[in-house]
Structure 1
Amino acid sequence: MTVITALANQYYLYIRKDKKPIAWDIYDTKPPFEFSLTTYFAKVFQAIEKSSVISGLVFYVTWNEIDELPSYGQNVVVFVLGDEWYRIPKYAHKVRAVFKCVGTRSILGCNPLLHPSLLNLLTLIQFLRILVVGVPGWVNYHWHKFKNLALGKGQITPIYDIPLGYHNSKNLPIKNIESRLYDTYFSGSVIHREYPVWSLKSWLGTPKALSRKLMISTLNKFQQKHPQFKVELSITGGYHNRTSEDERSYCEIMMDTKICVVPRGTSFETTRLFEGMKYGCVLVTEALPSRWYLDGAPVIKINDWQELPGILKNLLENKELMAEMHNKSLNWWHDKCSEAVVGKYVIGKLNREFKGNLGVNLDPP
């Protein structure tokens, strides 16, 4: 492995087990292999380095590799950024700490019995699939947890939830909510991949696709009924198909947007939520999981996108409420989800759980 000596800790991008880890200079604006979230997490790691609190650790940053790592030990910390199956990594008991976007606990987010619909049925099926897929990791983790306690070795590594952050969010001057051009805005995909004709998904759809189709249909009807409001829609080919020009346009329009609608993706938690929050948009979302950085967040949650027209109209006709939600959104980003705060959270967890182990400095100099 190539060691980056300029840093107090070593950082590697680890794509999958059949590839070698790639040394990552977290200050490089163009990493050797760019996951969708490296811009945000590079700044998280920079905050860790700037603090000078921890040193001598090896950070593996992976997208969804939950089976193997290049090495293990009490100096290894893992960040899993893109596993939307909510799985517990098989190696969790062999490393110092695991930090995971999306987490390990899925939510149903609807009531298919009280509100029967194709969308809620598919959501239930997806939820059950996630539970089944997660069984091996859950059994493995709790077996090692029991074994450690039985042998008097203490508890094994907890798995910590962390926010997704943003894909690529420019640092733009915050615009006053009243002066923004767009009343509401959505840019994104409805179907990000084509399924073969024999797949049920090609006929029935997915929770993401059905939810977004309903949201877009509702927004179009809202604009027809209320032409005085400016609704901006841009349907793209997929999250990973954005060009750098798309990113600039997306950021600039988002900063010029009053209300950001946040439909679910494959999971309920999406980068759009944090991008809108960072820019001080008023956020309208579907169900959200219970996380330390989401509990109490200043968002408006809806059960059905058909509720959206009434919510939009009420918000846009209440300038005081819009200004209040705008400020709360900015403050929540700054206090709960910003790179510096997440970096401090990581340091705090490493300090609390593993302070005093030989070979790793976890105390301030």
Structure 2
Amino acid sequence: MTHYFICKPGQPPIAWFPPDPAQTIDANCAYFGKVFEVMEQHLSIQGLTVYFTWDVNALPSYGANVVAVIQGDEWCRMPQYAHRVRAVFKCYGTRPILGCDPLRHPSYLNILTALQFFRILLIRIPGVLHYWWHSLKRNSLKQVSPKQFSSTSLSAIYDIPLGYYNQIDLPIQPIAHRPDDVFFAGSVIQGDYPLWSLKRYMGTPKNLSRQQMLEQLQESAILHPDWKLKLRLTTDFNASRDSDQSSYSERMMNSKICLVPRGTSFETFRFFEALRYGCIVVTEALPDRWFYTDSPAIQINNWNELETILSNLLNHPDRLQSLHQASLNWWKDYCSETAVGQYMAQCLNQTIEVKSTQSRSNPEYLRSSP
């Protein structure tokens, strides 16, 4: 039997019995509760302890039976305890992306995006050095004393999707029957920053990107008064998170196209929520992770392209239908609770062989898609 615990910052671990969503603790537990239920059904290992955590620095305990599932870390940091647990599954991954070319396409937004990228690289340095140190230590010990190698090995770190957050189960509406053409719900301008914060005066990539998206959407509404656009603007993520689940979900299900601008990170819950409902996703740059690569999402380089993209979609019902079905299929095959649960079980089951052969070989850790 596997034991699950939710580790919230500043709180003792809370015992969890998936698929109980534990939504009073965090809304994302609804998704991962079902993921863990599927994982449990396909596990060949007994006696694991799984920590569902937001902390990349420490866990309540360590050992070959411990698995960390890191839900939130937009800085893409390396977990400090990777050498002390069996495996780590991480949302947002450990490899940040620049997501633009500020040299070939200079703009204020791209400059801010580059500055944020380099800031993330600086924040990651301690964790990366820590990881490299234990990697070198592992290789040295392997050469000197193979019997000690397994006790100092580094765990594989696997990328996993964020899943959905503030969303309910609804029957899928056919794309042709959806009354609204384009949908966005969320914040555009983040809440006030302190007077001493540079973000208050310079802005952030999230704010600038979403402002540009909104401006282009407003211009599109003037050019195409027949388009049915649904917008719900909030003050920040917390306000979006606390908004009515039913209203948010029903509006998205009633929409053909969902706009998915970046947040602090290029990765957002909205991407997966839109796929789950079969919406056509229009988004920005996406990291090179197995659940993004070749997805049916339309990636936009500049929000100035929005009107053209929307016209090409809304004027071609056959393409809308094709992308609608592709979105549903992608969710089912790569991002759903079943797909991710089976993937995690597969990764953990293969650590049995890895752990048993580490004293004789140096296997490449698994990072492939399911």
TM norm structure 1? 0.92
Check 1:176–1:59 CA distance in 2 against 1; reply closer, same or farther (3 A cut): same
Match of 1:319 among 295, 302, 317: 317
Q: Which residue of 1 aligns with 2:201?
A: 203
Counterpart residue identity of residue 302, structure 2? D
Counterpart residue identity of residue 121, structure 1? I
SS in 2 for 1:151: helix
Contact 2:22/2:29 (<8 A) preserved: no
Check 1:94–1:30 CA distance in 2 against 1; reply closer, same or farther (3 A cut): closer
Contact 1:284/1:300 (<8 A) preserved: yes
Check 1:243–1:124 CA distance in 2 against 1; reply closer, same or farther (3 A cut): closer
Contact 2:7/2:53 (<8 A) preserved: yes
Q: For residues 159-195 of structure 1, give each alpha carbon's deviation from its aligned partner in whole angstroms, at most 9, with x where no partner exists.
A: 1100000003222111111111110010001233321
Contact 2:21/2:29 (<8 A) preserved: no
Match of 1:349 among 332, 347, 350: 347
Counterpart residue identity of residue 13, structure 1? I
Q: Number of paired residues?
A: 348
Summarize the alignment of residues 37-186 of structure 1 with structure 2, pairs less than 5 Å apart. 37-51=28-42, 53-63=44-54, 65-152=55-142, 153=149, 155-186=153-184
Q: Which residue of 2 aligns with 1:329?
A: 327
Aligned equivalents of 1:47, 1:139: Cα separation in 2: 35
Q: For residues 36-87 of structure 1, give each alpha carbon's deviation from its aligned partner in whole angstroms, at most 9, with x where no partner exists.
A: 4211111101112233533211011112x11111100000000111100100
Check 1:142–1:354 CA distance in 2 against 1; reply closer, same or farther (3 A cut): farther
Q: Which residue of 2 aligns with 1:19?
A: 11
Aligned equivalents of 1:71, 1:243: Cα separation in 2: 31
- Residue 354 of structure 1 deviates from its aligned partner by 2.9
Q: For residues 271-303 of structure 1, give each alpha carbon's deviation from its aligned partner in whole angstroms, at most 9, with x where no partner exists.
A: 100000000011111000000111100111111
Unaligned 5+ runs, structure 2: 143-148, 357-370
SS in 1 for 2:244: helix
Contact 1:40/1:168 (<8 A) preserved: no
Aligned equivalents of 1:232, 1:66: Cα separation in 2: 38
Aligned equivalents of 1:264, 1:245: Cα separation in 2: 20
After TM superposition, the structure 1 stretch with the greater mean CA deviation from structure 2, 236-245 or 161-170, is 236-245
Contact 1:287/1:302 (<8 A) preserved: yes
Q: For residues 87-142 of structure 1, give each alpha carbon's deviation from its aligned partner in whole angstroms, at most 9, with x where no partner exists.
A: 00111110010100010000001011111111101100000000010011001111
Q: Which residue of 2 aligns with 1:233?
A: 231
Aligned equivalents of 2:178, 2:307: Cα separation in 1: 19
- Residue 245 of structure 1 deviates from its aligned partner by 5.8
Aligned equivalents of 1:357, 1:312: Cα separation in 2: 51
Summarize the alignment of residues 181-330 of structure 1 with structure 2, pairs less than 5 Å apart. 181-242=179-240, 246-330=244-328
Counterpart residue identity of residue 12, structure 2? K
Aligned equivalents of 2:343, 2:280: Cα separation in 1: 26
Aligned equivalents of 2:325, 2:119: Cα separation in 1: 39
Counterpart residue identity of residue 19, structure 1? Q
- Residue 356 of structure 1 deviates from its aligned partner by 7.9
TM norm structure 2? 0.91
Check 1:31–1:174 CA distance in 2 against 1; reply closer, same or farther (3 A cut): closer
Q: Which residue of 1 aligns with 2:360?
A: none
Counterpart residue identity of residue 282, structure 2? V
After TM superposition, the structure 1 stretch with the greater mean CA deviation from structure 2, 237-246 or 298-307, is 237-246
Aligned equivalents of 1:131, 1:218: Cα separation in 2: 31
Q: What is the aligned-residue RMSD (CA, Å)?
A: 1.6
Aligned equivalents of 1:96, 1:273: Cα separation in 2: 30
Check 1:20–1:223 CA distance in 2 against 1; reply closer, same or farther (3 A cut): same
Identity of aligned residues (%): 49
